[in-house]
Amino acid sequence: MEIIDYIVVGSGCTGAMAAETLAESGKRVLVIDVGVENENASTENTDFIAKRFNDKQQSDFFLGKELEVLSENSHPNIPQQMAQRKFMTELTDKFLPVRSNNFFPVESLALGGLGSGWGLGSCVFSENELKKVGLSTTLMNESYKAIASRIGISGEKNDDVCSFCHNNLIDLQPSIKLNPAAESLYQRYRKKEVYFNQKKLFIGRPAIALLTENKADRQAYTYKDLDFYANEGNSAYRPAITIHNLLKKGKIEYQKGWLALRFWEENDYTILECMHVETNKKQLFYATKLILSASTLSTARIVMRSFQSKDKLPILCNAYTYMPMVYWPFVGKRNIDQFCGLVQLAMFYDKNADHSEVAMASIYNYRSMLNFRILKQMPLNYADGMKFLKLLIPALFIAGIFHPADYQAQNFIKLQKSDSPTGDTLLTNYSFEGNEANQIIETEKLYAKAFFKLNCLILNKIRTSTGASIHYSGTLPFSENEQLYHLSPAGKLFGTNNVFVADGSGFKFLPGKGLTLSLMANAHLVAQNVLKNA
Amino acid sequence: MLPEAKIFAQYLDAKVDDEALLIKYTKAIEKLKLSLSEKEASVLRYLIKMPFLLPFADGAWAFLNPKNGIRKRIMVMSAFIETEPQFVQLFLNEKDVSFSVFKMLFRGSVAVLRGIIGVFLILVLGWK
């Protein structure tokens, strides 16, 4: 029996950060992961326009060799997923089954987890938000700084949204160059700034985990507009980068193909039972400390199996609305080569004017995901629709609005016995009701009015099905009191001696901002606590 | 399936000078298992004979029945045409377009009008 110092379960954003912090101690760190890898990874170095005009094999690239993008058998919350990102959700149907009428979470068993497709938004949580989440402001602010220096974040140091995005807590690289339409939209906002600010609306440059300057062996972003297909020079941060680097330096060990099922403690060590996803063979791993960072839902599965209880657990998920809109001044403009498909601007709505309940709209230009996806949703015939869209695309923005989420009694997850390979299925229920539903409608109206004021015509308001935000937390809430299915503020799982949770399971409130940076910062803190505890 | 591929390509303004695109479409429909109901298949047979009705029927389905099987197949052809370099100018502006808002409104109005005519058409012909 070999006892490893630290076993980290999962290689996503939180697993990678926890592993890196633990590895700095020089102790033995083993990352256990299913680790599906991207066999369609693109090494593309041309730009979108050149590819469209010259590449005769581009349909394989854009639609997938197996026509994945056209397939109807996709996850309800990630329809028409890019072939290059399909690996992210592979095997989840089989090993992470979910039964629900209204909540279809997106989960991952990939190397790098959902971080492989993260939109890169890197907002810090405010003091009021952290208080509601259950985390210490002082510690998190230090941790944000550490994570930012690891992953590299670009953004604007001084604009209307800096207090929402980074609050000058982190070192920033210069922000990305805006696309012409976004630049024009931003200038229009600047002219009407006073009006917007009176409505508690603020627009500016989001902080994103994208390099605009070279950093170690990663390259600065090159504006080739293939962001959803390739990651040239690793300019966008992905957790797999950290895992590969740690492996290269021999700082961690990595066991691929293993799905963590349950744990139990004996004497002064923890035993983790895993199942191999190819052979279904079970194996035990022994650790002094176990760090669960498999994602909010997967960690909940592991904990529920380990405690062998049928209790329901609470769950939080941001509601997500997206609005395609036309920015009139850019209708019919030519398509330029240097372009960025990533988030351009962010509009924050600070409802209480104290950063406690903030909603955020990420504003993107639409182009590289191709016209046919929009065409199929338009109430127009294809032939005329194509000509219509050709003029409209340069002016098309998509605003994705994240709404803050608080606990509601009707929302829960529960593990039920089934004949799946793991022997269980996650039963989920999630709906937006009462005040929360009304607030979502009010916020949508407010945003629609604000965009109209900026000369944008909203084409549609699409409230996605629950789970589409891919932001989940709160299954094992932080608590000062020792009780089962709760975490101590240091991330320790109550009811155990040596099990810690480093993902978002403890977050008791989900701000309407991207949560990934906060997840990573918390993972770093939890790993530091593990080291202290050792 | 080739005649169907041909009318869809022509409908989408792709001047097909070789059969590669049509064959690609045919294989894709099989691979994606985009089957048609009996009624849809019979409507498609009719449209192959009378392709000028396609924009009207398609416009009407876009309103009334966006998940129509024929429309799904047109979507596949549209995606293939979009990813062929020879047709890229159908999707991307190489230069700024003058009077673009008016052109867009005109194109939108034509599409809506075709859709309205199409609604009557498919109701009369029972193609809904």
Query: Quick check: A293 pLDDT over 90?
Result: yes
What per-residue string of b and e applies to B88-110 under the rule 16 or more CB within 10 Å gives b? bebbbbeeebeebbebbeebbeb
CB contact under 8 A, A52 and B111: no
Distance CA A179, CA A502 (A): 37
Q: Is B23 on the interface with A (CB under 8 A)?
A: no
Where does A184-308 show beta strands of DSSP type E? 201-204, 253-256, 258-266, 269-276, 282-292
Six-digit token pair at A411?
């929302």
CB contact under 8 A, B110 and A384: yes
Distance CA A343, CA B24 (A): 34
Q: What is the pLDDT of residue B14?
A: 80
SS3 letters across A171-203: CCECCCCCCHHHHHHHHHHHHCHHHHHHCCEEE
Overall number of domains in chain A: 1
Q: What is the pLDDT of residue A478?
A: 98
CB contact under 8 A, A70 and B24: no
Collect all residues with Cβ–Cβ distance below 8 Å to A411 and sequence separation of at least 6.
A103, A314, A315, A316, A317, A429, A430, A431
Query: Quick check: A480 pLDDT over 70?
Result: yes
Q: What is the pLDDT of residue A201?
A: 98
Sorting pLDDT into bands at 50, 70 and 90, what band is A72?
A: confident
Q: Which of residues 55-114 of B touch A (CB under 8 A)?
A: 55-56, 58-59, 62-63, 66, 71-72, 74-76, 78-80, 82-85, 88, 90-98, 100-101, 103-104, 107-108, 110-112, 114
* pLDDT tens-digit readout, A353-362: 999 999 999 9
Sorting pLDDT into bands at 50, 70 and 90, what band is A401?
A: very high
Query: Quick check: A349 pLDDT over 80?
Result: yes
User: Which residue in A has a C-alpha nearest to residue B93's C-alpha?
Assistant: A334
Closest Cα of chain B to A375: distance in Å?
8
Q: Is B11 on the interface with A (CB under 8 A)?
A: yes
Q: Are strands A319-327 and A396-403 parallel, antiparallel or unpaired?
A: antiparallel
Q: What is the pLDDT of residue A310?
A: 67
- From chain A, the residues in CB contact with B56 under 8 A are 381
Torsions phi, psi of A358, nearest 5? -110, 135
* pLDDT tens-digit readout, A9-44: 999 999 999 999 999 999 999 999 999 998 878 777
Q: What is the pLDDT of residue A98?
A: 95
Collect all residues with Cβ–Cβ distance below 8 Å to A13 and sequence separation of at least 6.
A113, A114, A115, A118, A239, A516, A519, A520, A523
What per-residue string of b and e applies to A88-121 under the rule 16 or more CB within 10 Å gives b? bbbbbeebbbbebeebbbbbbbbbbbbbbbbbbb
HSE, side-chain direction, 13 A CA sphere, residue A460: 11
Residue type, A176: I
* pLDDT tens-digit readout, A164-217: 999 999 999 999 999 999 999 999 999 999 999 999 999 999 999 999 999 999
Closest Cα of chain B to A195: distance in Å?
28
CB contact under 8 A, A49 and B92: yes
User: Which residue in B has a C-alpha nearest to residue A54's C-alpha?
Assistant: B85
* pLDDT tens-digit readout, A318-342: 999 999 999 999 999 998 889 999 9
In a domain, A375, yes or no: no
Query: Quick check: A80 pLDDT over 90?
Result: no
Mean pLDDT along residues A365-377 = 92
Measured CA distances, A308 to A100, A263, A417, A473, B86 (Å): 21, 11, 11, 21, 61
* pLDDT tens-digit readout, A242-292: 999 999 999 999 999 999 999 999 989 999 999 999 999 999 999 999 999
CB contact under 8 A, A390 and B103: no
What per-residue string of b and e applies to A384-401 under the rule 16 or more CB within 10 Å gives b? bbbbbbbbbbbbbbbbbb
Closest Cα of chain B to A74: distance in Å?
12
In a domain, A67, yes or no: yes
Six-digit token pair at B55?
């924009």
Residue type, A268: D
CA-based radius of gyration for chain B = 15
Contact between A332 and B101 (Cβ < 8 Å):
yes
In a domain, A5, yes or no: no
Sorting pLDDT into bands at 50, 70 and 90, what band is B17?
A: low
Q: What is the pLDDT of residue A199?
A: 96
Q: Is B18 exposed, middle or buried (0-12, 13-18, 19+ CB in 10 A)?
A: exposed
A233 phi-psi bin (left φ>0, alpha ψ -120 to 50, beta other): left
In a domain, A82, yes or no: yes
Query: Quick check: A348 pLDDT over 90?
Result: yes
Closest Cα of chain A to B51: distance in Å?
13
- Chain A interface mutation, best of B83, B95, B113, B121, highest count of A Cβ atoms under 10 Å: B83
* pLDDT tens-digit readout, A83-107: 889 999 999 999 999 999 999 999 9
Q: Which of residues 67-86 of A touch B (CB under 8 A)?
A: 67, 69-72
Nearest residue, CB atoms, B85 vs list A52, A67, A380: A52
Mean pLDDT across chain A: 95
Nearest residue, CB atoms, B90 vs list A70, A384, A390: A390
Closest Cα of chain B to A50: distance in Å?
10
Q: Is B51 on the interface with A (CB under 8 A)?
A: no
Q: Which of residues 386-425 of A touch B (CB under 8 A)?
A: 386-394
User: Which residue in B has a C-alpha nearest to residue A55's C-alpha?
Assistant: B85
Percent of chain A scoring above 70 in pLDDT: 99
Q: What is the pLDDT of residue A79?
A: 65
Contact between A510 and A357 (Cβ < 8 Å):
no
Distance CA A28, CA A6 (A): 6
Distance CA A100, CA B1 (A): 39
- Chain B interface mutation, best of A328, A365, A382, highest count of B Cβ atoms under 10 Å: A382
- From chain A, the residues in CB contact with B31 under 8 A are 66-67
Identify the helix (H) or strand (E) that includes residue B94. none
Nearest residue, CB atoms, A52 vs list B55, B88, B96: B88
Q: Is A437 on the interface with B (CB under 8 A)?
A: no
Contact between A378 and B62 (Cβ < 8 Å):
yes
Q: Where are the alpha helices (DSSP H) in A64-172?
A: 92-95, 127-133, 137-151, 162-165
- Chain A interface mutation, best of B107, B109, B117, highest count of A Cβ atoms under 10 Å: B107
* pLDDT tens-digit readout, A499-515: 999 999 999 999 999 99
CB contact under 8 A, A58 and B83: yes
Query: Quick check: B18 pLDDT over 80?
Result: no
Q: What is the DSSP string of A305-335?
A: HHHT----EE-EE-EEEEEEEEEGGGTTPPP
* pLDDT tens-digit readout, B71-94: 999 999 999 999 999 999 999 998
Query: Quick check: A129 pLDDT over 80?
Result: yes
In a domain, A63, yes or no: yes
User: Which residue in A has a C-alpha nearest to residue B91's C-alpha?
Assistant: A390
Query: Quick check: A74 pLDDT over 90?
Result: no
Mean pLDDT along residues A125-143 = 97
CB contact under 8 A, A386 and B90: yes
In a domain, A53, yes or no: yes
Percent of chain B scoring above 90 in pLDDT: 82
In a domain, A305, yes or no: no
CB contact under 8 A, A381 and B114: yes
CB contact under 8 A, B59 and A381: yes
- Residue A70 structural domain: 40-89
Q: What is the pLDDT of residue A45?
A: 82
Measured CA distances, B92 to A227, A329, A389, A483, B21 (Å): 18, 17, 9, 59, 20
Percent of chain A scoring above 90 in pLDDT: 90
In a domain, A492, yes or no: no
- Chain B interface mutation, best of A70, A184, A381, A457, highest count of B Cβ atoms under 10 Å: A381
